[in-house]
Amino acid sequence: MEQGALTGKYTEANPFPAGTGRGDSYNPHLKELTALIHELKIIGTRFDASPAQVATAWAIAKGTLPIIGVTKVSQVEEALAVSQIELTPEEISRLEKLGGGSVTEHVVTFVYKKIGGTDLKVAILDDTKSDAQILVKYIEKFQVERNDTIQADVYEASFDFLEEYNSQYDVIFLDIEMPGSDGLQVAHEIRKKDQAVGIIFVTNMAQYAISGYEVNAIDFIVKPVSYYLFSEKLEKAIRFSKRREQRQILLNSKAGVHRILLSDILYVEKEKDNLVFHTLGETIRVPGTIKTLKDKLGNMSFSECTHGCLVNFENVRYIGKDMVLVGKKELPLSRRMRKQFIEEYAEYIGGGF
């Protein structure tokens, strides 16, 4: 922990600098730490906490007193936030198993997103400090007027933001024109990790806004930004977040932790030792079995249309004699499973056809 190996910043693809003490000590073990860091991120989602904060909370839960070195006010605040993290016995056990080198299948986790109230976490990604500070002041004014609670974090560099991003924000205000960085490409990278977060582009030229459709952006704002316009967009973002306040799923793949809305899943199919999640925005492969996934889903709106293929009823458009249309995809509907599939779908929609 003290050397930063559990922050999530260092991976096999992005190791510690070679030739340093930390590099020599930890680079050979980064592959072994991958599963542990993924688990720290998953648990952290429940508390809006970083992997390092969850690791510190584990140390406290084991009766130790961590000595934390700080050089910035933000680090003091992060350390204080750890006191609010109470790990369950199951979470502690999972961390200890992974920390001990054992392998645990934990690829699917369900979380609830708290938006109502309003507790909102906002990220502002803009390389121009003055523009970012205007948005921060607007957020402060908005809070006072609406009696809401909104946390705003400012990032000047897209690399730093993407490195630290683990689906902890509800809304991202993203400058689409940053020197040396394509805001639209940043948005695509965000969508690879998180389909649920709301994105609002901030731009100097309105013609760039049409690109927002590629990443399902909520809206766009043209600079210079007025408070009236900003407050309208933030209200829209809050409404967007409340509409999407529903059960979400975390998928722990080799690429990292993905947060997606349950309603965005089209279907899930078995592929050798993997589960392939076909969603509205991407395809994600994680290790697992259909049986394990069905157990986790419980009585939610999923049913097998054929062996090894789970369909999300929310996205069913048509059921034929031997096929089911999910989104724009035709999937086979086996004769053996058709009766149960139709009965469960009728129950889902509340009363048959």
DSSP secondary structure code for residue 225 in this structure: P
215 three-class SS = helix
**Which pLDDT does position 25 carry in this prediction?**
57
d(CA 20, CA 15): 11
Record the tokens describing residue 190, joined without a space: 């965000």
Write the pLDDT tens digit of every residue in 247-287: 678 888 877 778 788 888 999 999 988 999 999 988 999 98
Beta-carbon contacts of 350 under 8 Å, excluding residues fewer than 6 positions away, are none
pLDDT band at 51 (very low <50, low <70, confident <90, very high): confident
pLDDT band at 160 (very low <50, low <70, confident <90, very high): confident
**Which pLDDT does position 279 carry in this prediction?**
94
Is the pLDDT at 300 greater than 90? The verdict is no
**Which pLDDT does position 73 carry in this prediction?**
66
DSSP secondary structure code for residue 186 in this structure: H
- In the block, residue with structure tokens 């809206």: 219
Strands 265-271 and 329-332: unpaired
For the ranges 109-118, 179-188, 290-299, the one whose mean pLDDT is highest: 290-299
Beta-carbon contacts of 109 under 8 Å, excluding residues fewer than 6 positions away, are 42, 45, 249, 250, 252
Neighbours of 187 (CB within 10 A): 24
> What average pLDDT is seen over the chain?
80
- Contact by Cβ (8 Å): 262, 248: yes
Q: Is the pTM of this model over 0.75?
A: no
Write the pLDDT tens digit of every residue in 135-155: 999 999 999 898 888 889 999
Record the tokens describing residue 351, joined without a space: 């009363």
SS (HEC) of 28-80: HHHHHHHHHHHHHHHHHHHHCCCHHHHHHHHHHHCCCCCCCCCCCHHHHHHHH
